[in-house]
Every structure is written in C-alpha cells, then in structure tokens.
Structure 1
Amino acid sequence: MKISTFALLLFFSPTIILAQEAWLSTPESINQFRLRVEAMRPDSSQFDLKVTNKTIELTGRELEIRIYKPSGTSVKPTLIYVHGACWVAGSLDSHDEICRYLSKKSDVNVVAINYRLAPENKFPAGHNDVYDAVEWIWNHANELGLDTEQFAISGESTGAYFTAATALKSRDKKDGPKFSFQLLVYAALDGGGSSWSECKDLYFNDAEDIRSEYGSPLWSDNLSGLPPTFNIFGQYEISRAEEELFMRKLKDVNVVTKSFMNEGVGHDVTNWLSVQTETPAHLKAIEYINEGFKIK
C-alpha cells in the first residue's frame, strides 16, 4: 500500500511528535499511534528479494526476525537492522521497505529484529531483546546462511539507540558478536536528555535505568573499542546535539567515525522509511555500508 507524504509527516515530523507527546499518555492513545504507524506501511514490491520470517527461541520468550537475501550464490555480508518508533511502536512490517532497500542496493543480507515494545515491556526488555536476538543470529549464522566475518548493525531513531547499546554490550562480552561497523540514522542516544522526553518515560522506569551500564550510550563511561561508527543526522534534527557529541566522544578514544548531515530536514524518518524517492540519507547509507564492508 502506498502512503501519502502528508500522512507520513503527520505522524513522524518532529514538531508534530513533540506536540503529541502528551497524546501518548494513555493506553488508548498509544494503541492508536501503533495502528497508524502500521497503516503507513510503504509499498515493498519494487525490491525482489528472498524474504524469510523466523521465530527464534530465547530465554523465557520468543521473538520474530525477518531475513532479506539478494539473489546470487556468493557469500554476502550480514547487516542487522533495528527499527525505531519511539520505543512504543514499529514492527517488521512497518520497516519492511527500508530493509529491502538496504539489502537490494548494497547487495547484503539484512536481518530485521522484532523486539518487545514499551510501555508494556519496560527497560531493559528492549535492550535485552535486541542484544539476545543479535547473539542468537551470530551463533546460528551457519544454519541461516549468514556471514559473520562481515557482520554489522544499524538502526534509525530509537532503533539506533538499541544499536549503540548492543555495540557496547558486544564489546564487553568476549564471546559476543563482533561488528564490522555500526550505522546510526537520526539517532536517539541520550536516555536522560530532553529530546523525546515523554517517549523515554514510557520505556525507562526511572533515572537509575538511564544511568545503568547500557541505559544511555551517550554517557557510557567507556566508549573505546567500539567498531567504526557512521552517523546520518538531519540539519534540524531534534537529537542532533547528542549525536554530534557522541561522535566527538568516539573520536576522542580513537574510534573511526564518519558523519553526514542531511541538509534541510529534521528527524526525517518519514522519507527514510519510504524509499519511493531516494534521499541523500539513503545514498549516504549505501555508501557507508559499502565502505564498512569494503564492498567495491
């Protein structure tokens, strides 16, 4: 189903979302937001890929993943994708088109993760789901036909938040997944910051959660040893300051970093999810993926 630019802007423009933060204060309003996000699914038919849905069993729960594979028999890199939508919404379906696009245009295998949503599942449910799913994918890569020699993680908005937290946790676990790079798009990185404050209140229980080891990637005590990090942010991005600070802090501890400012836009998740027309952010993402995987 194709969607109008107006419909997308109505629910993902940063100014509109800020005005609606109080609107996300009741179970009914959150459910309405979820339904509207799902109703905005773009048309994914233009990208012909082998797509497989799989249920994975983790401790005490099951999660869904979706694997996208381009045609061809050669070994292809693996890119994990973590969806955003304010910690409370989003799914494999709502982010299907961007995953297809990244897989097709970069010629890599993409694996999308469905995690439990807030506020029904508070911190650290989402963190644990994403990390545990990534670790499961890493450990079962052979049976899934996925490569771990070239293995990276990406996400947009709150999905980028989980991406950065997962990269930190993976670094700390000796037997954890090893990432070639992380790609952060329109990222939320500060659990205690003012941007998206009410959304954060729906996920975090209290300040102690935010100050915990992986609760706020921006304020981690140790950012050294992280994989090369690519960041795409909007010129008028509501979380631009935290993204730029995060990248400076990474650079200070000798992490390879590259940033791209998408001029004239804010939290431009609308156009990121709908790839009917390629934006500078899409083109830069493909460039970063190719660079990170050393694809020529």
Structure 2
Amino acid sequence: MAVCSTLEVAPLDPALAGLLAQMAAQGNPPLEALPPAVGRRIYRDMDAALGLPAPVVGKVEDLVIEGPGGPLALRAYAPATPGPWPVLMFLHGGGFVIGDLDTHDKVCRTLCHHAHMLVVAVDYRLAPEHPFPAAPDDAEAALRWLCAHAATLGGDASRMAVAGDSAGAQLALVAVRRVGGIQALGMIYPAAQHPDTPSPSYAENGEGKFLTYSAMRWFMATYLGGQAAAAQHPDFDLLHSDMAALPPTWVATMGHDPLRDEGHALALRIEHAGVAVAHAHYPGAIHACIHFSGVSTVGAQVVVDLAAWLRLQI
C-alpha cells in the first residue's frame, strides 16, 4: 500500500457529522480560550465519554523512570498471551499541550490486544510549562530506556516499533530518528509543519470539524514558547528534514482534517527518501476520531488497521 498520489474524497461520516453538530450547539468556548489545565480535563472527559470500552489485556503497570527533566511516567500494557512480546512505544496526541496516559488508555489497550504487543505509553512533559524541546527529549529518553529494559517487562527489544497520533506522531518520528534501530513507525494524522504556512486542507477543514486552525496556531505557539528558530528545527518542521534513516512507516490521514495535506506530504517525503510507506486514508473521518469509537466505527478501524500493519512488520 504505497502513498496515494491523490486522496479520495468523500462526505463527512454521518455519525461524526452529528457529533460535530451537537458540539457546536453546546456553544462552549474554544479550547485556545481556556487555561491548559482546563483543556486537559476536558480532553480526558471527552475520551471517557465518547469511546467504546477497551478490550481486555493481560496486565497494566504504571512505571516511573528517570527522564531528562526529572521523573518520567510510563504505562505498560502486556498481552494475555505468553511473551516475550514485540514492543510498541506509544506517544499521545494533544498539540503538545494537552493529553496524558489516561486520554489514550483505550487506544493503547486496543493496540495491545490487536497487535499482540507490549505497549508502553509515555507521559512526556507538556507546554507551556515545558516548551520545545522537552517533549522530544522525553520521547528519546523513554525509547532509549525501553530498548535497554524491555526484557524486564516481558518484551523483546529486537522487535521494536514506535507510534503516535497527531503531536505524538511527530514525536514518534523524532524519537525513532534520534535513536535508530527501530523496526517500524506508525503515525496517525501527524503534525508535520507550522500552521503559519497552512496547506489547502486548513482552508477546507479549519473550522467546524473539531480541530480548528486557531487551535492549531495556539498549540504550536504554546509548544514553541516564543522560540522563533524552533519552527524551522528538524525535530519540528518535518517536511524539511531528513527521512532516509526511518524504518518501514505507516501513515494515516483523515479526509476532513486540517492536517490532512501535511500528513500526505510527509508520507510522500518519506517514500521519496527510499523508505517503505503504507498510507491509509480515511476520507470521511476527522482529526481525533480515534477517541470517538462510541460514536463512529471509523476511529476504531484506524487503530485496528495500525495494529494489523504492526503485526506484519515485527
């Protein structure tokens, strides 16, 4: 499944359209108008309310390791089947400002169950308290620790993958590129460039489809913390950085997502660097759909598709 030269177009998934209409009718203030702490709580509550119950896994364990900025929390999900298992490190989305181990707990349990992998989620530091490069530094530290200690959790460090969604997808790529020796990379609707240079999908989908253009500008301004040079750093501006050292990569794009075009451009750039790329496009879906599995089947399908691809790689 190579990268599509053009993306399939389809109407918005009816169930997601209904959800968006309900959200609009509530008249809540935009995320960027709220303190980060409030946005983080809303994100947790949204995931809890709109996602289906996650499948059962064998064991869940919370860990703390030493990170570059102090203690770094991880959560390990072990399959019910006998190990040692291949290992997946997962980095959550949330614009580098919101999101945590709980917002993506169902996603990680689903990946563990369907991929039959030890999944280790990373609670990296968030902006504005910890701006760039705190998050990629934490992602790198967690991956290096996991490569060295996977066996203590029942994992096989010779079969390692990294994945993430949105901001976490960017961090996944950066961690893999910094550390090397990883067998597979999975990215769900990755953030790949600064919204100050918006692609056409921002004009199409930047209002009324959950993730907005103004929210993205707020996320990125908060994350970069006024560091103008950081917007061109290769650990942020992925579309102008080197991809040649990446392992086989899976990229998911959503048809009604402001980040659709940059995700597509990133997949093409990786493929042009000589890397094997599988591109899965979901034309009726929106950003963050993996949290809305209780509303629409498409988000759950994205996660199951990633799990199926991972099983083929390692």
TM-score, length-normalised on structure 1?
0.83
Q: Deviations over 1:75-99 (max 9, x none)?
A: 2110111000121111111110010
Q: Report the 3-state secondary structure (helix = DSSP H, G, I; strand = E; otherwise coil) of the residue aligned with 2:35.
A: helix
> Which residue of structure 2 aligns with residue 281 of structure 1?
302
Distance 1:212 1:86 in 2: 17
Q: Work out whether residues 165 and 216 of structure 1, in 8 Å CA contact, stay in contact via their aligned partners in 2.
A: no
> Which residue of structure 1 aligns with residue 171 of structure 2?
162
Letter paired with 1:210: A
Q: Work out whether residues 128 and 222 of structure 2, in 8 Å CA contact, stay in contact via their aligned partners in 1.
A: yes
Stretch moving more, 67-76 or 118-127: 67-76
Q: Deviations over 1:173-203 (max 9, x none)?
A: xxxxx21110000111113643522210010
Taking a change above 3 Å as real, the CA distance of residues 49 and 275 of structure 1, as seen in their structure-2 partners, is: farther
Distance 2:73 2:102 in 1: 11
Q: Work out whether residues 54 and 109 of structure 2, in 8 Å CA contact, stay in contact via their aligned partners in 1.
A: no
Q: Kindly report structure 1 stretches of 4+ aligned residues shifted beyond 3 Å.
A: 8-11, 42-46, 191-195, 274-278
Letter paired with 1:284: D
Q: Work out whether residues 68 and 138 of structure 2, in 8 Å CA contact, stay in contact via their aligned partners in 1.
A: no
> Which residue of structure 2 aligns with residue 229 of structure 1?
249
Q: Work out whether residues 55 and 63 of structure 1, in 8 Å CA contact, stay in contact via their aligned partners in 2.
A: yes
Q: Report the 3-state secondary structure (helix = DSSP H, G, I; strand = E; otherwise coil) of the residue aligned with 1:77.
A: strand
Confirm whether residue 76 of structure 1 aligns to residue 85 of structure 2: yes
Q: How does 1:208-223 map to 2 (within 5 A)?
A: 208-220=229-241, 222-223=242-243
Distance 2:292 2:59 in 1: 20
Distance 2:54 2:310 in 1: 23
Residue 291 (structure 1) shift: 2.0
Confirm whether residue 111 of structure 1 aligns to residue 114 of structure 2: no
> Which residue of structure 2 aligns with residue 32 of structure 1?
38
Q: Report the 3-state secondary structure (helix = DSSP H, G, I; strand = E; otherwise coil) of the residue aligned with 1:223.
A: coil
Distance 2:159 2:235 in 1: 24
Distance 1:170 1:106 in 2: 23
Letter paired with 2:239: L
Letter paired with 1:219: H
Match of 2:184 among 175, 181, 184: 181
Q: Deviations over 1:37-92 (max 9, x none)?
A: 12232464642430000011124400110000011223211011100012111111
Q: Deviations over 1:252-291 (max 9, x none)?
A: 1211101011121221x13x12445643323321221122
Q: Report the 3-state secondary structure (helix = DSSP H, G, I; strand = E; otherwise coil) of the residue aligned with 2:137.
A: helix
Residue 20 (structure 1) shift: 6.2
Q: How well do the aligned residues superpose, as a CA RMSD in angstroms?
A: 2.6
Q: Report the 3-state secondary structure (helix = DSSP H, G, I; strand = E; otherwise coil) of the residue aligned with 1:266.
A: coil
| Higher RCO structure (Cα 8 Å, ≥6 apart) | 2
> Which residue of structure 2 aligns with residue 127 of structure 1?
136
Distance 2:221 2:264 in 1: 23
Distance 1:132 1:258 in 2: 27
Letter paired with 2:32: L
Distance 2:253 2:54 in 1: 28
> Which residue of structure 2 aligns with residue 174 of structure 1?
none
Q: Report the 3-state secondary structure (helix = DSSP H, G, I; strand = E; otherwise coil) of the residue aligned with 1:56.
A: strand
> Which residue of structure 2 aligns with residue 175 of structure 1?
none
Distance 2:182 2:53 in 1: 28
Taking a change above 3 Å as real, the CA distance of residues 60 and 88 of structure 1, as seen in their structure-2 partners, is: closer
What percentage of aligned pairs have identical amino acids?
A: 24
Q: Deviations over 1:216-235 (max 9, x none)?
A: 22211x21121111011111
Residue 151 (structure 1) shift: 0.3
Residue 36 (structure 1) shift: 0.8
Q: Work out whether residues 53 and 65 of structure 1, in 8 Å CA contact, stay in contact via their aligned partners in 2.
A: yes
> Which residue of structure 2 aligns with residue 266 of structure 1?
286
Residue 157 (structure 1) shift: 0.9
Taking a change above 3 Å as real, the CA distance of residues 45 and 154 of structure 1, as seen in their structure-2 partners, is: closer
Letter paired with 2:37: N
Structure 2 residue ranges without an equivalent (≥5)? 1-14, 199-212
Q: Work out whether residues 44 and 96 of structure 1, in 8 Å CA contact, stay in contact via their aligned partners in 2.
A: no
Distance 1:78 1:224 in 2: 23
Q: Work out whether residues 107 and 303 of structure 2, in 8 Å CA contact, stay in contact via their aligned partners in 1.
A: no
Q: Report the 3-state secondary structure (helix = DSSP H, G, I; strand = E; otherwise coil) of the residue aligned with 1:135.
A: helix
Distance 2:259 2:93 in 1: 14
Structure 1 residue ranges without an equivalent (≥5)? 172-177
Stretch moving more, 98-107 or 191-200: 191-200
Letter paired with 1:257: V
